[in-house]
């Protein structure tokens, strides 16, 4: 038996919206556990992705992007999820867009500085930096902002230099027994993931503001004859939003349902029948009762 102690810890992925935290999480665990879109604040909940290797386990916490622009109850809930993960993490991955540093990055950096946890700066989307010679002076500038244990430039989307980030983990994690079984890759249920996949497809096709005004709830989950039937309600805040989601002749809803069903077939490894409805609940994003019912923390 080896005398080398097992290591295990929580690694929070923190950063402003739309810097690629969810893409990085999926790349680290090797499969999709967090939905992704080009639009800010796609991630609304804390989602754990689990990477287990011989002698160590890292539990990555994908968090909503820290944002102070929207005063709604939903935004406050997302900020609490992010800050809660930051407070309990053993290690921080501060994720930034290599091509652009903003005031929101400064806000996140202030939170990282206030934390007792070690921090690695992940310089994501380096494949988008032109010319590439810009990267070295930017790394030197960022190195002076905080005592990061390491700065790792990478492309989460393409997997470039991801192995360097993973190689850092064993030495930075505390000693401890695994928190999850070896074959588990997320702490979220299949029902949760199904709702998220429907919301992802909606976010990808709808205009800029509308995705923020909707959420998805699974109301039916029935298996019969080797087929799973999932019934999902898309909640919006106004009749105008409902018409947009349904689309002319119901075409938008059909397209979203088809794309989501194909993803669900792959994720669940079985045939899925997906039924979608669109309903209105006015101002749900500011209602404590609605937020709690839809799985958010309104406290």
Domain boundaries of the chain, sorted by first residue: 7-172, 190-293
**3-state SS class at 150:** strand
SS3 track for 46-84 = CEEEEEEECCEEEEEEECCCCCCCCCCHHHHHHHHHHHH
Across the range 1-17, mean pLDDT stands at 88
CB of 46 within 8 A of CB of 215? no
Q: What angle do CA 96, 101, 106 make, to 5 degrees?
A: 85
pLDDT band at residue 66, thresholds of 50, 70 and 90?
A: low
For residue 130, pLDDT beyond 90: no
pLDDT band at residue 69, thresholds of 50, 70 and 90?
A: low
Architecture of domain 190-293: 2-Layer Sandwich (3.30)
- Tell me the percentage of the chain whose pLDDT exceeds 70: 89
From CA 252, how far away is CA 49, in angstroms rounded?
A: 31
The pLDDT of residue 36 is 85
From CA 295, how far away is CA 45, in angstroms rounded?
A: 9
Q: Which is more confidently placed, 66 or 179? A: 179
For residue 286, pLDDT beyond 70: yes
Helices (H), 148-189: 162-172
Question: Which of the 8 DSSP states describes residue 5?
Answer: P
Q: What CATH number should be reported for the domain whose range is 7-172?
A: 3.40.50.300
Model confidence, pTM: 0.86
For residue 218, pLDDT beyond 90: yes
The pLDDT of residue 226 is 81
Low-confidence winner among 21-25, 72-76, 97-101, 243-247 (lowest mean pLDDT): 72-76
**3-state SS class at 177:** coil
DSSP secondary structure, 217-274, as one string: EEEEEEEETTEEEEEEEEEESSHHHHHHHH-GGGHHHHHHHHHHHHHHHHHHTSEEEE
**3-state SS class at 197:** helix
Helix 239-246 and helix 251-268, axial crossing angle in degrees, nearest 10: 70
Across the range 4-31, mean pLDDT stands at 93
Q: Which is more confidently placed, 110 or 2? A: 110
- Mean pLDDT, rounded, of the chain: 89
For residue 88, pLDDT beyond 90: no
pLDDT band at residue 3, thresholds of 50, 70 and 90?
A: confident
User: In 104-226, where do the E strands start and end?
Assistant: 118-124, 150-153, 215-224
Across the range 284-290, mean pLDDT stands at 84
For residue 292, pLDDT beyond 80: yes
Low-confidence winner among 23-27, 44-48, 72-76, 159-163 (lowest mean pLDDT): 72-76
């Amino acid at each position: 038996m080896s005398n080398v102690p097992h290591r295990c810890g929580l690694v929070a992925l923190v950063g402003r919206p739309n810097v690629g935290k969810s893409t990085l999480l999926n790349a680290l665990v090797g499969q999709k556990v967090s939905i992704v879109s080009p639009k800010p604040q796609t991630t609304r909940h804390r989602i754990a992705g689990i990477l287990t290797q011989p002698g160590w386990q890292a539990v990555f916490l994908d968090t909503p992007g820290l944002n102070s622009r929207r005063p709604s109850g939903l935004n406050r809930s997302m900020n609490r999820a992010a800050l809660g993960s930051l407070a309990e993490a053993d290690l921080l991955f501060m994720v930034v867009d290599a091509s652009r540093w903003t005031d929101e990055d400064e806000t996140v950096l202030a939170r990282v500085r206030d934390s007792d946890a070690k921090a690695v700066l992940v310089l994501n989307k380096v494949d988008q930096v032109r010319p590439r010679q810009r990267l070295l002076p930017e790394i030197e500038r960022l190195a002076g902002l905080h005592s990061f244990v390491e700065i790792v430039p990478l492309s989460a989307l393409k997997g470039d230099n991801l192995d360097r980030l993973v190689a850092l983990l064993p030495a930075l994690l505390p000693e401890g027994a695994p928190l999850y079984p070896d074959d588990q890759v997320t702490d979220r249920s299949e029902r949760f993931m199904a709702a998220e996949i429907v919301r992802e497809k909606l976010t990808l096709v709808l205009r800029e503001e509308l995705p923020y005004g909707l959420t998805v709830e699974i109301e039916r989950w029935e298996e019969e004859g080797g087929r799973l039937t999932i019934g999902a309600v898309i909640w919006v805040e106004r009749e105008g939003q409902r018409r947009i989601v349904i689309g002319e002749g119901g075409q938008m809803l059909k397209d979203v349902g088809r794309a989501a069903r194909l993803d669900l077939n792959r994720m669940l490894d079985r045939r899925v029948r997906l039924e979608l409805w669109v309903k209105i609940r006015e101002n749900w994003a500011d209602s404590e009762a609605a937020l709690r019912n839809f799985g958010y923390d309104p406290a």
